[in-house]
Structure 1
Amino acid sequence: MRGRDWINQILPDELILDIFRHLESKSSRDACALVCKRWLRLERLSRLTLRIGASGCPDVFIKLLARRFVNVRNVFVDERLSISLPVPLGRRRGTDHSVISALKIHSLAETNGLEDNETESYCLSDAGLAAVATGFSKLEKLSLIWCSNVTHVGLRSIAEKCIFLKSLDLQGCYVGDQGLAAVGEFSKQLEDLNLRFCEGLTDAGLIKLVDGSGKTLKSISLAACAKVTDTSLEAVGSHCRSLESLSLDSECIHDKGVLAVAQGCPQLKVLKLQCVNVTDGALQGVGTCCLSLELLALYSFQIFTDKSLYAIGKGCKRLKSLTLNDCTFLSDKGLEAVAVGCTGLTYLEVNGCHNIGTYGLESIARSCTHLSELALLYCQRIGNFALSEIGKGCKFLQALHLVDCASIGDEAICSIARGCCNLKRLHIRRCYEVGNKGIIAVGENCKFLTDLSLRFCDRVGDEALVAIGEGCSLHHLNVSGCHQIGDDGIIAIARGCPELSYLDVSVLQDLGDMAMVELGEGCPLLRDIVLSHCRQITDVGLSYIANRCTLLETSHMVYCPGITAAGVATVITSCTNIKKVLVEKWKVSPRTKRRAGSIISYLCDLGDMALVELSEGMSLDDGYCDVALSSNNK
Structure 2
Amino acid sequence: MRGQDRINNILPEELLIEIFRRLESKPSRDACSLVCKRWLSLERLSRTTLRIGASFSPDTFVTLLSRRFLHVTSIHVDERLSASLPSLSPPLKRVCRRNKSSPSSSKRKRKDLIDNTYPEAGTSESCSLTDAGLTALADGFPRMENLSLIWCPNVSSFGLQSLAQKCTSLKSLDIQGCYIGDQGLAAVGNFCKKLEALNLRFCEGLTDAGVIELVVGCAKSLKSVGVAASAKISDLSLEAVGSHCKLLEILFLDSEYVHDKGIIAVAQGCKRLRNLNLQCVNVTDEALSVVGDLCSSLERLALYSFQQFTDKGMRAIGNGCKKLNNLTLSDCYFVSCKGLEAIAHGCKELTRLEINGCHNIGTLGLEAVGRSCPRLTELALLYCQRIGNSALQAIGKGCKSLEILHLLDCSIIGDNAICSIAKGCRNLKKLHIRRCYEIGNKGVIAVGKHCKSLTELSLRFCDKVGDEALIAIGEGCSLQQLNVTGCHQIGDAGISAIARGCPRLTHLDISVLQNIGDMPLAELAEGCPMLIDLVLSHCHRITDNGLNHLVQKCKLLETCHMVYCPGITSAGVATVVSSCPHIKKVLIEKWKVSERTRRRAGSVISYLCMDL
Normalising TM by the smaller chain, what interval? over 0.9
Who is 1:70 aligned against?
Answer: 70
Who is 1:154 aligned against?
Answer: 159
Give the distance between the partners of 1:588 and 1:104, measured in 2 at CA.
34
State whether residues 57 and 126 of structure 2, in contact with CA within 8 Å, keep that contact through their aligned partners in structure 1.
Answer: no
1:508 to 494, 501, 513: 513
1:472 to 456, 477, 489: 477
With 429-438 and 31-40 compared, the bigger mean Cα shift is at 31-40
Aligned residue identity for 2:73 = R
1:361 to 342, 351, 366: 366
1:590 Cα deviation after fit: 2.5
Instruction: Output one character per residue of 1:117-155: Cα deviation in whole Å (capped at 9) or x when no partner.
Output: x95561111111111111111211111111111111111
Determine helix, strand or coil for the equivalent of 2:426: coil
Aligned residue identity for 1:4 = Q
Determine helix, strand or coil for the equivalent of 2:127: coil
Q: How does 1:133-532 map to 2 (within 5 A)?
A: 133-532=138-537
1:311 Cα deviation after fit: 0.1
Give the distance between the partners of 1:2 and 1:234, measured in 2 at CA.
66
Who is 1:625 aligned against?
Answer: none
Give the distance between the partners of 1:155 and 1:203, measured in 2 at CA.
18
Determine helix, strand or coil for the equivalent of 1:402: strand
Give the distance between the partners of 1:358 and 1:7, measured in 2 at CA.
64
CA RMSD, Structure 1 to Structure 2 (Å): 1.9
Give the distance between the partners of 2:226 and 2:283, measured in 1 at CA.
17
Give the distance between the partners of 1:339 and 1:606, measured in 2 at CA.
54
Give the distance between the partners of 1:210 and 1:590, measured in 2 at CA.
58
State whether residues 330 and 355 of structure 2, in contact with CA within 8 Å, keep that contact through their aligned partners in structure 1.
Answer: yes
Give the distance between the partners of 1:407 and 1:103, measured in 2 at CA.
60
Aligned residue identity for 1:130 = T
Give the distance between the partners of 1:4 and 1:477, measured in 2 at CA.
46
Aligned residue identity for 1:279 = T
Who is 2:46 aligned against?
Answer: 46
1:10 Cα deviation after fit: 2.0
Aligned residue identity for 1:424 = K
Instruction: Output one character per residue of 1:463-487: Cα deviation in whole Å (capped at 9) or x when no partner.
Output: 1000000000001111001111111
Determine helix, strand or coil for the equivalent of 2:490: coil
Whichever of the two has the greater Rg, that structure is 2
Determine helix, strand or coil for the equivalent of 1:82: coil
1:294 Cα deviation after fit: 0.2
Give the distance between the partners of 1:188 and 1:401, measured in 2 at CA.
43
Give the distance between the partners of 2:125 and 2:213, measured in 1 at CA.
36
Give the distance between the partners of 2:557 and 2:115, measured in 1 at CA.
32
1:323 Cα deviation after fit: 0.4
Q: Which runs of 5+ in 2 are unaligned?
A: 91-105
Number of aligned residue pairs: 597
Determine helix, strand or coil for the equivalent of 1:558: coil
1:8 Cα deviation after fit: 2.0
Give the distance between the partners of 1:429 and 1:407, measured in 2 at CA.
13
Tell me the percent identity. Answer: 68
1:217 Cα deviation after fit: 1.0
Determine helix, strand or coil for the equivalent of 2:302: strand
State whether residues 57 and 119 of structure 2, in contact with CA within 8 Å, keep that contact through their aligned partners in structure 1.
Answer: no
Who is 1:614 aligned against?
Answer: none
State whether residues 120 and 126 of structure 2, in contact with CA within 8 Å, keep that contact through their aligned partners in structure 1.
Answer: no
Give the distance between the partners of 1:266 and 1:93, measured in 2 at CA.
64
Give the distance between the partners of 1:572 and 1:103, measured in 2 at CA.
31
State whether residues 59 and 130 of structure 2, in contact with CA within 8 Å, keep that contact through their aligned partners in structure 1.
Answer: yes
Who is 1:629 aligned against?
Answer: none
Give the distance between the partners of 1:119 and 1:260, measured in 2 at CA.
45
State whether residues 590 and 610 of structure 2, in contact with CA within 8 Å, keep that contact through their aligned partners in structure 1.
Answer: no
Q: 1:254 to 1:509 in 2, by over 3 A?
A: same
Higher normalized contact order (CA 8 Å, seq sep 6+, divided by chain length): 1
Determine helix, strand or coil for the equivalent of 1:54: coil
Q: 1:121 to 1:590 in 2, by over 3 A?
A: farther
Q: 1:23 to 1:89 in 2, by over 3 A?
A: farther
State whether residues 539 and 563 of structure 1, in contact with CA within 8 Å, keep that contact through their aligned partners in structure 2.
Answer: yes
State whether residues 497 and 523 of structure 1, in contact with CA within 8 Å, keep that contact through their aligned partners in structure 2.
Answer: yes
Give the distance between the partners of 1:92 and 1:300, measured in 2 at CA.
61
Q: 1:102 to 1:541 in 2, by over 3 A?
A: farther
Determine helix, strand or coil for the equivalent of 2:582: coil
Determine helix, strand or coil for the equivalent of 1:19: helix
State whether residues 208 and 232 of structure 2, in contact with CA within 8 Å, keep that contact through their aligned partners in structure 1.
Answer: yes
Give the distance between the partners of 1:503 and 1:568, measured in 2 at CA.
18
1:591 Cα deviation after fit: 2.6
1:39 Cα deviation after fit: 1.6
Q: 1:61 to 1:578 in 2, by over 3 A?
A: same
With 510-519 and 586-595 compared, the bigger mean Cα shift is at 586-595
Determine helix, strand or coil for the equivalent of 2:135: helix
Who is 1:28 aligned against?
Answer: 28
1:30 Cα deviation after fit: 2.0
Determine helix, strand or coil for the equivalent of 1:81: coil
Q: How does 1:539-618 map to 2 (within 5 A)?
A: 539-604=544-609
1:88 Cα deviation after fit: 6.4
Give the distance between the partners of 1:606 and 1:4, measured in 2 at CA.
57
Instruction: Output one character per residue of 1:91-132: Cα deviation in whole Å (capped at 9) or x when no partner.
Output: 7798694555655974xx6xxxxxxxx955611111111111
Who is 1:82 aligned against?
Answer: 82
Q: 1:137 to 1:83 in 2, by over 3 A?
A: same
Give the distance between the partners of 1:89 and 1:269, measured in 2 at CA.
55
State whether residues 85 and 598 of structure 1, in contact with CA within 8 Å, keep that contact through their aligned partners in structure 2.
Answer: no
Aligned residue identity for 2:538 = H
Give the distance between the partners of 2:197 and 2:2, measured in 1 at CA.
53
Give the distance between the partners of 1:319 and 1:474, measured in 2 at CA.
32
Determine helix, strand or coil for the equivalent of 1:56: coil
Q: Which runs of 5+ in 1 are unaligned?
A: 110-117, 608-634
Determine helix, strand or coil for the equivalent of 2:75: strand
Aligned residue identity for 2:27 = S
Give the distance between the partners of 1:48 and 1:282, measured in 2 at CA.
41
Who is 2:5 aligned against?
Answer: 5
Who is 1:115 aligned against?
Answer: none
1:31 Cα deviation after fit: 2.3
TM-score (norm 2): 0.94
